[in-house]
Structure 1
Amino acid sequence: MAKLVECIPNFSEGRNLEVVEKIVDTLRGREGVKLLDYSSDADHNRSVVTVIGEPEKLQEAIIDMAEKVYKNIDMTKHEGGHPRMGALDVVPFVPISDVTMEECIEIANKVGKAIGDRFNIPVYLYEKAAKKKTRENLAKVRKGQYEGFFEKIKDPDWKPDYGPEEVNVKGGCVAVGARVPLVAFNVNLGTDNIEIADKIAKIVRHIGGGLRFVKAMGVKLEDRNIVQVSMNLVNYEKTAVYRAFEMIKMEAKRYGVPVIGSEVIGLVPMASLIQCAEYYLQIENFSMDQILEKRIME
């Protein structure tokens, strides 16, 4: 079995689709690398890419993509609903086949050092690649966002792992890490009141006393005049998608607000959605071997 690593880079452009295509083009037609998916969100002003490949070739592809990001995105002009610290905001590596987490940590270090050296960008290692316990949680690393990092970086506790010790004005900073697969899952509410979304997010997320493996925040979707609870489920096996969904529905009731839809961002493990089917359909005899496509691919 070939060594395969997944990377899910997020960059801070979701409105200028011409720029998005320029950046994503760096990942197309490369030997040993396959672009699986990408999506852009104008309200978040952010794009999420999913790419898979052989370790060394994937590293090269991500560094080439970073070069295009830094040429085309100016953080002094960026605004959007999603927290961000840089033009290339986060670059997580995920082991897929015949690759260990330790190897992904090594890849994160190599890519982080290259971005720091070549593009003069402060780099912070997070999740499994973090060299400090305080940097494992991406939310803590990114706290203050691009605007706040000009002061934050002066704190000795927030000296970058790679790159310069001052913020790159145009490119900002970047978080590079290694982690297990996560599910990016958003729940839309039938209201335009962002305070309600914020309050529900605070209750649902782990840091607010909610579900252990959920990170959440409220976001306004200006084009639809509604709000959403935007989440990352960092371990779907221990906190299932349907549990987060049901908890949001329960909390929304206290405000008389309906849940009007949900969305998945990027790619998700099949098992995370099958868990939902089992729960809502109350299937008693289910096995993964009953998935037609799985049997065909065997």
Structure 2
Amino acid sequence: MLKQMLGCCKVYISESRNKAALEVIEKAAKLYPNSPVVNKFEDEIYNRVGYTLVSEMGQNPISCSLKSCVFEMVKVAFEEIDLETHSGTHPRLGVVDHICFHSLGGISLDHVAETAKSLAADVGSKLQVATFLYGAAHHEGRSLDSIRREFGYFKPNSTGNQWTSGPRSEYLRLTPDEGPPQALQRKGVLVIGAIRWVDNYNIPIFSNDMTTVRKISRRVSGRGGGLAAVQSMALAHGNKVIEVACNLLEPSRIGGDEVQLHVERLAKEERVEVGKGYYTDLSQDILVEKYFELIRTAKDALAKVD
């Protein structure tokens, strides 16, 4: 399957229950048919939605359809969603919590990093949102989790393992790369980066014992002495379900199957039951296939109109 000059952007928005807001965001995306939303993953308990867009990038990484499309989605999201009324069991730093660019082949990581930096500059100046860069988009290659730790991202700020409202203070512990040095509580802050492909794999554990599941989660992650290139955290996911949510930083080296077996071994030691895990997005190959299908369908529809 041809992958030349294709870029991918994942946009994570802190909302899934307000369907009207999501409809407006998706309507904005449809204005850019050359950069279609290839996959959408919603989770009402987490109150979070992830959109995956794929597009041909062209030679100019700054003036491209993908950047324009994502900017319009972000703009509408800030207009339609108020972080002060938000709550969910997934952490977040802003209305648009996280945007990540990837190369799908034919272009370099540096190419999509330039797109990420240009998008951040526009969000910061035109939308007045404090924006932080990471990965190849940051001059020192700063990591996403290092930014999140500075903001206390991984610690629930409400009862029931919930995250609610916006930042508790306008004061920012880090200086934004773009935008104002303060955070508006209704908007929060935004993190934008460019990195190699990451798979997200969540494994349900049927328990309400957060202490036990956090112990398992720590032992899964590379940071906790577990699997290399795996990041994980425990997130409440409904009645008697806590998920071990994992970022697989090198999925060709350690994939979901290996993580699943490791969690099952640890859960057996703790005497808790484990369910089958799931990916929150499509594989790179399937994303590319679906992208070309969508483009062909759009061209066929246009030809019929003509």
TM-score interval for Structure 1 and Structure 2 normalised by the shorter chain? 0.7 to 0.9
Contact 2:16 2:48 in 1 (8 A): yes
User: Judging changes above 3 Å, is the alpha-carbon distance between structure 1 residues 149 and 142 closer, same or farther for their aligned structure 2 residues?
Assistant: farther
- Flag the structure with higher helix content: 1
1:270 is displaced (CA, Å) by 5.4
Match of 2:11 in 1: 9
Equivalent residues, number: 264
Q: Compute the RMSD of aligned alpha carbons.
A: 1.8
Runs of 4+ residues deviating >3 angstroms = 148-151
Is there any run of 5+ residues in structure 2 with no aligned partner, and where? 58-63, 154-165, 287-306
Match of 1:114 in 2: 122
Alignment of 1:1-298 (within 5 A): 2-28=4-30, 30-55=32-57, 56-133=64-141, 135-136=142-143, 138-143=144-149, 144-145=152-153, 146-147=166-167, 150-151=170-171, 153=172, 155=173, 158-222=174-238, 224-269=239-284
Q: TM-score, normalised by structure 2?
A: 0.81
1:268 is displaced (CA, Å) by 2.2
1:192 is displaced (CA, Å) by 2.1
Is there any run of 5+ residues in structure 1 with no aligned partner, and where? 272-298
Q: TM-score, normalised by structure 1?
A: 0.83
Aligned residue type for 2:147: V
Higher relative contact order (CA 8 A, sep 6+): 2
d(CA) in 2 for partners of 1:149, 1:182: 31
d(CA) in 2 for partners of 1:191, 1:225: 5
Aligned residue type for 2:221: R
d(CA) in 2 for partners of 1:237, 1:149: 40
d(CA) in 2 for partners of 1:15, 1:31: 26
d(CA) in 2 for partners of 1:112, 1:58: 13
Q: Percent identity?
A: 23
